Amino acid sequence: MAERSFAHEVEKLRIPAGQEFRGEGILAVTKALLQSVVGYVGGYQGAPISHLMDVLADAQGVLEELGVHFEASASEAAAAAMLAASVNYPIRGAVTWKSTVGTNVASDALANVASGGVLGGALIIVGEDYGEGSSIVQERSHAFAMKSQMWLLDPRPDLESIVRMVERGFELSEASNTPVILQLRIRACHLYGRFRTGANRAPPFTLQDALENPVRDLSRIVLPPASFQHEQEKIERRWPAALDFIRAHRLNEFFGAAGGAVGVIVQGGLYNTLMRALELNGVADAFGNTDMPIYVLNVTYPLVPDEIMQFCAGKATVLMIEEGQPEYIEQNLGMILRNAGSQTTVVGKDLLPRAGEYTGEALRRGVESFLRRYAPARLSSAAARSAHSARPQVSKAVQALAAVLPLRPAGFCTGCPERPLFTALKLLERETRPLHLSCDIGCHLFSILPPFNLGNTTMGYGLGAAGAAAFNAPRGKRAVAIMGDGGFWHNGLTSGVANAVFNRTDAVLVVIDNGSSAATGGQDILSSRADNKTKSTKHSIADAVRGVGVTWLRSIDRTYDVARMRATLRAAMIAPEKGLKVVLAASECMLNRQRRERPRESRAIAAGARVVRERFGVDSDTCTGDHSCIRLSGCPSLTIRPNPDPLREDPVAHVDNTCVGCGLCGEVAHAAVLCPSFYRAELVFNPTPIERLFARLRGKIIGLLQGIADTRRLRRAY
Amino acid sequence: MRIEPASTDAAAAARALRPLSIAIAALGGQGGGVLSDWIVAVAERHGWLVQATQVPGVAQRTGTTMYYLETCPPPAGGAQPVFALMPVPGDVDIVLAAELMEAGRAVMRGFVTPDRTTLVASNHRVYAITEKSAPGDGIADANAVLAALNGESRRLVTFDMEAAAAASASAISAVLLGALAAAAVLPFPRALYEQAIRDSGVAVAANLAGFAAGFTRALADAPPAGATATAPAPGSAAGKRLDAEVRAAFPAHLHGLVAEGVRRLMDYQDGAYAELYLTRLQAVLRRDQRADGLHHGFALTAAAARHLALWMAYDDTIRVADLKTRSGRFERFRGEVGAVPGQIVYVSEFMYPRFQELCETLPAAFGERLARSALGARLPPPLFRRGRRIGTSRITGFLALYALAALRRWRRGTLRYRTEQGRIDAWLARICANGMDYELSVQIAACQRLIKGYGDTHQRSMRNFSAIMEFIDRDPGRPDLAAQVRQLRTAALAAADDDGRELRAALQALIDQPARPPAG
C-alpha cells in the first residue's frame, strides 16, 4: 500500500467534459491521458512522479472501464520497452519515471523505439528532479532527446497548458512517428490548479485487437539494413514532419509586443518565474501583460528555425533563459541565427547562472542585468517602482544566521527498521576498524549522513553490490555492500548478486527488505508481504538469492535486535567460506506499519479489548548528557532537552511523544553497554480484572516501601 | 491585497493588484501539506483564485519542506493572473514556520523582509542531528535567531505552538492556521477557516481545538515563556545549619549554587557528606582568595562548587537504584508516556550490570580481591555477558532495586567510594596547587564535565580526563596551558565518533609543537 492514497481524488477523473477540474498537476496529467485515448500506461515510481504512479494504481477502476492497461513496471527499462506496443499498432501508450536517473536506465529501450519509430502515439512523461528538493545527480533530460531524436515538450506550468501538451504530444508523436518526452519539473508535478475538462475516451483499437491480428514489419526492427534506413528517416521525414506540426498547431507561443530591439526566449516550464521576474523589474503586470516580446518554447527540442527568425527579426539582442547545463538550446539558437546571416546576438548564460536552478531571485537578477545592459531606458522608468531597487542590504543579524542555523540532513524515520543495521555496523566497526561500505539508492543511503556517517560510494539504483565488485581482494577485511529490496528487484539480483556469484566475489552484501519501495512512497514490490488486488506479491528474496547460487545466507526477521544483527555481520566478515555472504535484514517499513496498525489498535481499545502499547523513555535523573545513544541511533523521537538539573550544563536525552516503541534505543543501550537511563513502559488498556487486582496489590506494596524511603530521605534532606 | 501608495499612473494601478504570497516552512511530518490544503480551501471558499505547490521528496524524511501559495481576488474582466511557483526573496507577504530554526532559515533565504512580511512562527525547537549528536551542548543559539526574526519581519507572531498543540491534543498545523487567522493579514473570516477544517473531515474536533488555541494565543500575543526556577529554601534542621554555613563562608553570588550542591549531596548520601563537600570547597575558596579571586569573580570557586558536587554525587549502582525506585520518578514516567490516572503501566529498565560494578559495590578490600581473583576471571561470562531488563513496577524487580538503594548507608565502605574519593582528592590537589595559574585551575575544575555516562562510556570519558591531566603534568609551567586545556576539553566533547580520535590528534599536535617558543 502506497504512502499516499488517491482513492478519493481519482473520482475527479470521471468529471464529464466541459467542467472545471481542480487538483494536483499529477492528477491533471492522468485526466489528460484518459482524454487522449491512451491504450496502455506504465512506469517506475520516484519523486516527483511517484504520485502519478500512485494515482494510476488507485485509478484502476476508471482505467479498466476505458480498457486501459496499467503496468507497475519492474524498472524504467521495462517501462520504456512497453512502448513496443505502439511500433506496429495504432495504440497510444504513455510511460513515466524520474529523470534523469530513470531515463539513464531506460535508454536502451528508448534508443530502439526511437530508431524504428512508432505508429501509435508514444509519450514519455519524465519528472525532472532538478534543483531544490532533488535527491539525484543534477543533469538534463534534454541530452537524451537530442541523442535519440525524440521531441521534448516543456509546457508552461499551468494545468491548462500541461493538459493541452499531453494531448498534442500524442498527435505530434503520430504525425512524426517519433516518441515524445513530456518534461515536468518538481513544482509542476505538485501544482494545485484548474483546467477545463474534455471527455474520457476509450481506445478504438485495443491491445486485444492487436493480439488477434499481429502485424510484422521488418523495416521497423533495429537490424541492418533497417537500422541505417532509420537514421535517414529521422532526418529526411520525421524531423520535417515534427516542425510542420509544431508550427501548424502553434505549440510554441508568442507573448508581449511584436517589435522592439530586445526580446526574451524562454523554456515553457520557466515562463511563470520569468513573468514574476519581469514584473518585479517593472516591465510586466501580475497578469502577464507586458510589452516585452517573449517567445515561449513549449517544445524545447527540436527548435523551429523560421519561428526563431520571425521572432528575432529586427531585434538587436535576445535573452535566452535555459535552465541547467550544457546550454544546448542557446548553442543551437546561435547556430540557427548565424547560418541565416542574422545580426541578432544571443545572451544567456553570461547574464544568468551557468549551473543550478533558475529560482525567482536568479531570474530577477538576470532580467535586471539584461535590461540594464541592453534596454536601460525601460529599466530606469520602471525600476523606481520596483520593491527591489529599494531593498536594503542584508543586515548583520541575518548574515550571522548562516553560522547559527543547523543543517537538517534527511534521516531515518522514527522506528525505521533500517536504522538498527547501521547501529550494528557502527558497533562492528569498533572491533574491525573502519570498513569499506558500498551504498545503494534508497532510504538506507541516509547512513552516509550524521549520525551514522557510514558509506563510501553510491553508484546508482540496485548497484550497491556491483559497486563493491572491484574489491574482490580481501586480506583481513571484506567490503560490505548495501542494497534495498527496491533496488534488488530493479536490477540488483542480476547486476549485484548474480554478478558476485559468477565472479566468486568474496564480500558481504546486506539486503534490506522492508516490504515495500519505501523511499519512493511505499509502493508494493515483488517481495511485499501485503496482499495486493492487482499484483502478485510475497515472492521471497531469500529464494531468489539462493536461486542464483548464493550458499551463505543469513536472515534476520527482527532487525531491532542489534546484538544479533552485529553477531550476524561479524559472522559474515570472518566466515571461512569464500564467495558472496548475504545477510537478509527484514522488518517492515515503520511508516507503513503505523499507517496500518494505529487505526486497528484504536478500534480494539474502543471495543474494550486488552491492548498493550509500548513506549520508551529516558530518566533525566540518570542521563549524564553524553548523547552516545543519539550517535548510535539518530531516531527523530530520541531528542534532547535542557537539563532540569541546575548543576549539570549539558542537555539530557529525551524520548518525545512520536516514539512508536520499536525498542532500538533500549537495544542500543544494551549492545553498546551505554547507560541505565532507558526504560520501556507498557501502557495497558482495558486490563483484565485479575490484572487490575494484582496491580492494585503491587501498587500498595511498592507505595508502602516508597513511603518508607521518602520518610527516611526527608530526615536527611536539605 | 497590497495597495501601493497613491499613483496617478494607470499602469502602476494595474500593477498594484498583485497576488498575496504565502510560504510555509515545515519539517517532514508537521502537516505542512495539510496546512497548505486548508489555506487553499479557505481562499476558494472566499471566492479567491489560488495556486499552491510544494517541494517534497527526501525532505519528507525529517528534512525541511517548503510549501508556496499565491492567492488574489478574481480580477474584473476574467483576466487570469500568472502565479509564480516559488517565492522570490523580498516578495513574500506571509511566512508560516513550524519551528524556530526553520523560521530563521526563511529569514536567511530572504523570504522575510521588514517592509512586507508577517511571520507566524512557532518558537519551539526540533533539534537537528548535529545538535543532538554533540557529546556536550551542541544546541544552536536561539537568541540569535529570535533577534533576526524580530529585526527582519514586519510583524512577528511567535509562541510555542508545539506546546499549544499538545495542550489541545491537536497538531501544530492547526495551531499555525489559528495564529494565521488571528494575524489578520488575509481578509478571510474566522468561520471560513473553521469550515475548511470541518470539510477536510479528519480529526475535526482536535484540529478545531488546536485552531482555537492558536487563534487565542496569537491574539493575546504573549511573550515566550522561559522562567527559571529559584533554589528552594532549606526545610530541615540540618539543612538550615548547612545553609547558614554556606552563607557565612561563601561570596553572596555563589550561595544559590553552593546550596544546590549541599542539597544534592544530602539527597545523595547524608548531611555529613554535604559537610565534606563544604570542607573541600572551602579549601578551594582559600586558594581562590590567595589568588585574588575577588578580581576573578571567584570563578574558580564557582566552577568547583558545580563540578565537585557533580563528582561527589557520582552515579554508582546504589544511586541509580535509588533514583529508579523513587515515588516521584514513578509519577514522572507516567506523565512522560501519557498514562491516564489509574492506567496500569509496566516499566522495565535497561540495565547492564557488569562484574566490575558488582565488585565496586562490595566492601573495598573484598571487592578489590574479588576483582583480581581467579573466581572473578571465571565468573563474568555467563552471568554478566548480556543486558538485563528489570521490571521496576513488579515486586521482584522493585525489591531488587530497593534493596540495592538501601546499601546507601554502607556506601562509604564500597570499593567505588574509595576509588572516587581518591580521584576527587587528586583533582582538588591539582586545582589548589601552589603557584598554579588561576585560569588553569578553573580549566582543570571544568574538566570534570568530561566525566560522563556509565560502563564503557564512563571508562572512555575517564580516559579522556586522565589524558588531559597527564598532559598538564608534563609541563605545568607551559605558557598558554589554560587555553590549551580548554581547547582539549572542547576536542574531547566534539569527538562525536566516540573513539577519542579528535582528542588524541589535538594532544599529539600540542605535544609535537615546542613547549616554549625559541628565544629571540
Residue A716 lies in a domain: no
Poorest-pLDDT segment among A35-49, A88-102, B355-369: B355-369
Q: How many residues does chain B have?
A: 520
**What was the pLDDT predicted at A559?**
93
What integer pLDDT is reported at residue B496 of this predicted model?
Answer: 58
Q: What is the pLDDT of residues B264-311, one digit of tens each?
A: 999 999 999 999 999 999 999 988 888 777 667 788 999 999 999 999
Quote the domain boundaries for residue A329.
Answer: 253-383
Query: Taking residues B417-444, what's their average pLDDT?
Result: 92
Span A674-681, mean pLDDT? 87
Question: Contact, B207 vs B143, CB < 8 A?
Answer: no
Query: What local confidence, expressed as pLDDT, does residue B226 receive?
Result: 27
Among all residues of chain B, which has the CA nearest to that of A394? B110
Does residue B413 come out as left (phi exceeding 0), alpha (psi in the -120 to 50 range) or beta? alpha
| Whether residues A556 and A489 fall in one domain | yes
Does B519 score more than 50 pLDDT? no
State which residue of chain B sits closest to A192, comparing Cα positions: B52
In this predicted structure, what is the pLDDT of residue A450? 85
Same structural domain for residues A80 and A190?
Answer: yes
pLDDT higher than threshold 50 for residue A384: no
Q: Which of A369-373, A581-585, B21-25, B455-459 has the lowest mean pLDDT?
A: B455-459
**Judgement on whether residues A95 and A160 belong to the same structural domain of the protein:** yes
Alpha carbons A647 and A147: distance in angstroms, whole number: 68
Interchain proximity A273–B86, CB inside 8 Å: yes
Q: pLDDT value at position B423?
A: 96
Considering its fold, how many domains does chain A have in total? 4
B17 in A contact zone (CB under 8 Å): yes
Q: Among residues A530, A533, A572, which one has the least CA distance to residue A551?
A: A572
Percentage of residues in chain A having pLDDT higher than 90: 75
Residues of B in contact with A661 (CB under 8 A): none
Give A554-599 pLDDT, tens digit per residue. Answer: 999 999 999 999 999 999 999 999 999 999 999 888 877 888 888 8
B224 part of contact set with chain A, CB < 8 Å? no
Give A66 to chain B, closest Cα distance, Å. Answer: 30
- Model confidence pLDDT, tens digit, residues A252-295: 999 999 888 999 999 999 999 999 999 999 999 999 999 999 99
Stretch A408-420: mean pLDDT: 88
Percent of chain B past pLDDT 70, that is, above it, reads 88
- On the question of pLDDT at A21 being above 50, the answer is yes
Quick check: A615 contacting B, CB < 8 Å?
A: yes
Cross-chain residue pair B346–A615, CB shorter than 8 Å: no
**What are the distances in angstroms from CA A1 to CA A517, A537, B178?**
10, 12, 33
A 435-474 residues with CB < 8 A to B:
443, 446, 449-451, 453
Lowest mean pLDDT among A129-138, B199-208, B228-237, B405-414: B228-237
Smallest CA–CA distance, residue A607 to chain B, in Å, is 17
Window B:164-193, CB contacts with A under 8 Å: 166
- Which distant-in-sequence residues (6+ apart) come within 8 Å of B12 by Cβ? A385, B4
Q: Is the pLDDT of residue B384 over 70?
A: no
Distance CA B98, CA B89 (A): 19
pLDDT grade for B375, boundaries at 50, 70 and 90:
low
pLDDT, position B61? 58
- Residue A396: closest C-alpha in chain B: B148
How far, in Å, CA of B99 to CA of B172, rounded?
10
Whether residues B72 and A286 touch (CB distance < 8 A) is answered with yes
Name the superfamily (CATH) of residues B17-220.
Answer: Pyruvate-ferredoxin oxidoreductase, PFOR, domain III (3.40.920.10)
Let me know if residue A391 belongs to a domain: no
| pLDDT recorded at residue A493 | 97
Same domain, yes or no: A568 and A615: no
The pLDDT-based confidence of B187 (bands split at 50, 70, 90) is confident
- Asked whether the predicted pLDDT for residue A466 surpasses 90, the reply is yes
pLDDT higher for A471 or B56? A471
Distance (Å, whole) CA A298 – CA A250:
10
Question: A240 at the B interface (CB within 8 A)?
Answer: no
Burial class (CB in 10 A: 0-12, 13-18, 19+), B425: exposed
The better pLDDT of the pair A372, B379 is held by: A372
Of the listed ranges A252-266, A539-553, B21-35, the least confidently predicted one is: B21-35
Q: Tell me the chain A residues in contact with residue B336 when contact means C-beta distances shorter than 8 Å.
A: 617, 655, 681
**Residue A77 in this model has a pLDDT that exceeds 70:** yes
In this prediction, residue A672 carries a pLDDT of 77
Q: Is A182 found in the same domain as A33?
A: yes
Across the beta sheet with A299-301, the strand order is A69-72, A38-43, A92-99, A122-128, A180-185, A151-153, A299-301
Is pLDDT of B383 > 60?
no
Average pLDDT over residues B117-127: 92
Judge: A446–B134 Cβ closer than 8 Å, yes or no: no
Phi, psi of A240 (to 5 degrees): -60, -35
- Kindly state whether B379 is in contact with chain A, defined as any CB-CB distance less than 8 angstroms: no
B394 at A interface, C-beta within 8 A: yes
| pLDDT over 50 at B5, yes or no | no
Per-residue pLDDT band for B223 (boundaries 50, 70, 90) equals very low
Q: Are residues A483 and A538 in the same domain?
A: yes
Q: Is B148 on the interface with A (CB under 8 A)?
A: yes
Query: Is A7 among the domain residues?
Result: no
pLDDT at residue B290 in the model:
80
Q: Is the pLDDT of residue B403 over 70?
A: yes
E strand or H helix at A300: strand A299-301
Specify whether the CB–CB gap between A97 and A136 falls below 8 A. Answer: no
Point out the residue among A410, A624, A669 whose CB comes nearest to the CB of B315. A624
**Residue B1 confidence (pLDDT) above 60:** no
Res. B515 pLDDT band, cuts 50 70 90: low
Whether the predicted pLDDT of A385 surpasses 50: no
Residue in the structure block whose three cell numbers are 537578477: A365
A193 contact residues in B (CB cutoff 8 A): 51
- CATH number of residue A314's parent domain: 3.40.50.920
For A409, nearest residue in chain B (alpha carbons):
B63
Q: Where are the alpha helices (DSSP H) in A84-214?
A: 85-88, 101-116, 142-148, 159-176, 186-189, 207-212
In this predicted structure, what is the pLDDT of residue A393?
Answer: 62
Mean per-residue pLDDT, B74-96: 88
Average pLDDT of chain B is 85
Phi then psi for residue A416, to 5 deg, are: -60, 130
Cβ contact A684–B62 (<8 Å) = no
- Contact assessment for residue A320 and residue A265, using Cβ atoms and an 8 Å cutoff: yes
Query: A184: pLDDT confidence band, cut at 50, 70 and 90?
Result: very high
B419 phi-psi bin (left φ>0, alpha ψ -120 to 50, beta other): alpha
Say whether residue A218 is in contact with chain B using an 8 A CB cutoff: no
A480-496 mean pLDDT: 96
What local confidence, expressed as pLDDT, does residue B358 receive? Answer: 83
Do A47 and B61 make contact, defined as CB atoms within 8 angstroms? no
Q: What is the DSSP letter of B347?
A: E
Q: Can you tell me which residue has the cell 469550515?
A: B195
pLDDT, position A522: 78
Q: Is A37 inside any structural domain?
A: yes
pLDDT at A2: 64
Long-range contacts of B356-362 (CB under 8 A, 24+ apart): B357/B316, B357/B317, B358/B384, B359/B415, B360/B316, B360/B317, B360/B414, B360/B415, B360/B416, B360/B419, B361/B316, B361/B317, B361/B318, B361/B404, B361/B407, B361/B414, B361/B415, B361/B416, B362/B414, B362/B415
At B89, give phi and psi (nearest 5°): -50, 135
In this model, does residue B231 exceed pLDDT 90? Answer: no
Contacts of A622 in chain B (CB under 8 A): 315, 319-320, 323-324
Number of H helices and E strands in chain B, helices first, is 25, 8
pLDDT band at A671 (very low <50, low <70, confident <90, very high): confident
What pLDDT score does B4 carry? 38
Q: What are B327-338's pLDDT values in tens digits?
A: 999 999 998 888
Minimal Cα–Cα distance from A651 to chain B, Å?
A: 6
B418 min Cα distance to partner chain A (Å) = 21
Q: Flag whether A537 is in a domain.
A: yes
In this complex, how many residue pairs, one in chain A and one in chain B, have their CB atoms less than 8 Å apart? 401
Residue-wise DSSP of A518-554: TTTT-B--TT-SS--SSS-----HHHHHHHTT--EEE
What does the mean pLDDT of chain A come to? Answer: 92
Asked if pLDDT for residue A5 goes beyond 90, the answer is: no
Query: Do A37 and A129 reside in the same domain of the chain?
Result: yes
Q: Say what the pLDDT of residue A390 is.
A: 44
Nearest by CB to B148, which of A285, A388, A398? A398
Q: What is the mean pLDDT of residues B67-91?
A: 87
Contact B320 A622 (CB under 8 A): yes
CATH number (domain holding residue A519): 3.40.50.970
CB contact under 8 A, A651 and B129: no
Cell matching residue A23? 487538483
CB interface of A with B, residues 103-162, below 8 Å: 129, 132-135, 157-158
Residue A11 located in a structural domain: no
Q: Which sign, positive or negative, has the C-alpha torsion A247, A248, A254, A258?
A: positive
Confidence tier at B6 by pLDDT (50, 70, 90) = very low
CA-to-CA distance for B339 and A684, rounded, in angstroms?
9
Dump pLDDT digits (tens) for A145-166. Answer: 999 999 999 999 999 999 999 9
Query: Any residues with CB less than 8 A from the CB of B135 and at least 6 apart, and which?
Result: A626, A627, A628, A650, B452, B492, B493, B494, B495, B496
| A117 has a pLDDT exceeding 50 | yes
Place B250 in a pLDDT band, splitting at 50, 70 and 90: confident
pLDDT: which is higher, A147 or B351: A147
Query: CA dist A465 to A65, A272, A448, A585, B14, Å?
Result: 43, 43, 16, 15, 61
User: For residue A63, what are the contacts with CB-CB under 8 A and spacing of at least 6?
Assistant: A34, A41, A56, A69, A70
Q: Chain B partners of A484 at a C-beta cutoff of 8 Å?
A: none
Which residue of A lies nearest to B232 if distances are taken between CA atoms? A718
Which pLDDT does position B382 carry in this prediction?
52
Give the phi and the psi of residue A646 in degrees, each rounded to 5. Answer: -65, -20
**Pair A233, A260 in one domain:** no
Domain boundaries, chain B: 17-220, 451-520
Residue B12 predicted with pLDDT over 80: no
Choose the closest CB to B337 out of A385, A615, A717: A615
Give the bridge partners for B67, in sequence order: B24, B54
The partner residue sitting opposite B333, judged by closest CB among A387, A647, A679, is A679
How high is the pLDDT of residue B293? 73
| C-alpha–C-alpha distance, residues A348 and A330, integer Å | 7
Give the mean model confidence (pLDDT) for residues A390-410. 77
**Hey, of A50, A136, A408, A635, which one would you mutate to test binding to chain B, going by the most B CBs within 10 A of its CB?**
A408
pLDDT value of position B11: 43
